[in-house]
Amino acid sequence: MRFAIETLGTRGDVQPYIALAKGLMARGHEVQLAAPVQFTDTAAEHGIPFAGLSGEFLALLDTPEGKAAVAGGKGFSAGFKLLKHMRPFMMRLLDEEWRAVRSFRPDVLVYHPKSFGSPDMAAALGVPHVLASPLPGFTPTGAFPSPMLPFASLGPFNRMSHAFAIHGARLLFAKDLKAWRATTLGLSGETARKPAAGTLYAYSPAVLPKPGDWGPDVLVTGYWFLDSPAWQPDEALESFLTAGPPPVYFGFGSVPGIDPAAMAGTILEALEVTGKRGLLAGGGGAIGKVDASARAFFLGAAPHDRLLPRASAAVHHGGAGTTAASLRAGLPTQIVPFFGDQPFWGKRVAALGAGPAPLDLKTLSAAGLAKALEAMDATAMRARAAELSTAIAKDRGVEAATKFLERLSVTSR
């Protein structure tokens, strides 16, 4: 079978789909992954046929407008502020996706929620489409509200809240999408978009169980991890890791720097107060560079699967991928959410007993962070993190997803 996989976003939005592509190829299927051009080398490293898409979406995060959206909003509001700035290049991006999909001629189109033109492309080709997401929120449920909204529960309105994530982007670009469907895809207004043939959620049911009101066409597979077994720390990092107790990991993924020097200062002060050591990952720039010392070590980036098992705890933004990695490593996890689904994962980790309540970025202080570092030493919290690690290790996320897609392919022929 031929599977086209469409995804947009940062590293956490791309790595799981590379893992899925590898799983499908290992079972003899043909795959094409379309993702931002910044991930060309990563795809090549893993032998994945790749169609590079415009990198403007990622570049947006580093613009003043992108940073302002991250700094000024939480959850749903921040995401929509970013979407508004995407309008100038969104139609070009849809055209690039369509060229990649049309030339590949897939039997099934698998897509990240950000690739919201994928159902239309599948309709134009007459093939089924499957939504594949690293976070929930695209299948209505009464069990919890949309992860894009800053509420722990909306009670009877939980199910209704998911409409924002499901339809929001298409409503925002409704006029442009209508024209694109007609002129580029040749779909008339009467040509209905078929519902997804299935939905895959790439997180562990131990972290968030499948709600009872989801049907058999929805599968919570377990995480899709992309490991880096060949990676080794350089001499300086290895020396730091072995020079004292396991350090606390601090990293905010691809989130851009709002005030990186201040963030680094807050972390260093909290480490000094608690007597702990820290690994500070610069990532997208949210943490400023610091001089190496016995207390702290700064690195640009490193694969989570190799680095986090050598840490004692984790403090991060709560991106779906980083949350998966810290829980997989059995680390007590403190989340400091910036935007999007990050507050949702922060509340979820706390509810599971694997970390303290999320810290508010706008009021983050060295004293508050130090208190969180000490809280993560609690025996019960460490035990709960270890239990989740054991449960996650039993998942076979990529295998479950590939088998689901194979069954779908057979029934859709």
DSSP 39-59: GHHHHHHTT--EEEE-SHHHH
Confidence of residue 46 (pLDDT cuts 50, 70, 90): very high
Residue with tokens 């086209």: 4
State yes or no: pLDDT of 391 exceeds 80.
Answer: yes
Give the mean pLDDT of 355-360: 97
State yes or no: pLDDT of 413 exceeds 60.
Answer: no
Closest to 307 in 3D by CA, of 370, 381, 228: 228
Structure tokens at 199: 């939905």
State yes or no: pLDDT of 388 exceeds 90.
Answer: yes
Amino acid at 135: L
Least confident of 192-196, 287-291, 331-335: 192-196
CA atoms within 13 A on the CB side of 128: 19
The secondary element (H helix, E strand) that includes residue 65 is helix 64-72
What pLDDT, on the 0 to 100 scale, is given for residue 288?
93
State yes or no: pLDDT of 106 exceeds 90.
Answer: yes
Least confident of 201-205, 227-231, 238-242, 379-383: 227-231
Instruction: Please state, in angstroms and rounded to a whole number, the distance separating the CA atoms of residues 206 and 48.
Output: 30
Instruction: Please state, in angstroms and rounded to a whole number, the distance separating the CA atoms of residues 413 and 401.
Output: 19
167 vs 74 pLDDT, higher one: 167
CA distances from 211 to 137, 140, 154 (A): 12, 10, 16
According to CATH, the topology of domain 2-223+395-412 is: Rossmann fold (3.40.50)
State yes or no: pLDDT of 320 exceeds 70.
Answer: yes
Q: Coil, strand, or helix at residue 377?
A: coil
Could you say which of 3.40.50.2000, 3.20.20.140, 2.60.40.10, 3.40.309.10 is the CATH number of the domain covering 235-394?
3.40.50.2000
State yes or no: pLDDT of 184 exceeds 70.
Answer: yes
Q: Coil, strand, or helix at residue 243?
A: coil
State yes or no: pLDDT of 321 exceeds 90.
Answer: yes
Do residues 271 and 81 lie in contact, with contact meaning Cβ atoms separated by under 8 Å? no
Confidence of residue 68 (pLDDT cuts 50, 70, 90): low
State yes or no: pLDDT of 239 exceeds 80.
Answer: yes
- CA dihedral for 161, 254, 89, 74, sign (positive or negative): positive
What pLDDT, on the 0 to 100 scale, is given for residue 283?
82
283: left (phi over 0), alpha (psi -120 to 50) or beta: left
Do residues 162 and 141 lie in contact, with contact meaning Cβ atoms separated by under 8 Å? yes
What pLDDT, on the 0 to 100 scale, is given for residue 191?
61
State yes or no: pLDDT of 72 exceeds 60.
Answer: no
Instruction: Please state, in angstroms and rounded to a whole number, the distance separating the CA atoms of residues 191 and 182.
Output: 10
Do residues 299 and 280 lie in contact, with contact meaning Cβ atoms separated by under 8 Å? yes
Give the mean pLDDT of 124-152: 92
249 vs 412 pLDDT, higher one: 249
What pLDDT, on the 0 to 100 scale, is given for residue 144?
93
Q: Each residue of 201-236: pLDDT tens digit? A: 999 999 999 999 999 999 999 999 999 989 999 999
Q: Each residue of 144-181: pLDDT tens digit? A: 999 988 788 889 889 998 887 788 777 778 888 889 99
Q: Enumerate the domain spans of the chain.
A: 2-223+395-412, 235-394
Confidence of residue 42 (pLDDT cuts 50, 70, 90): very high
- Give the number of residues written for the chain: 413
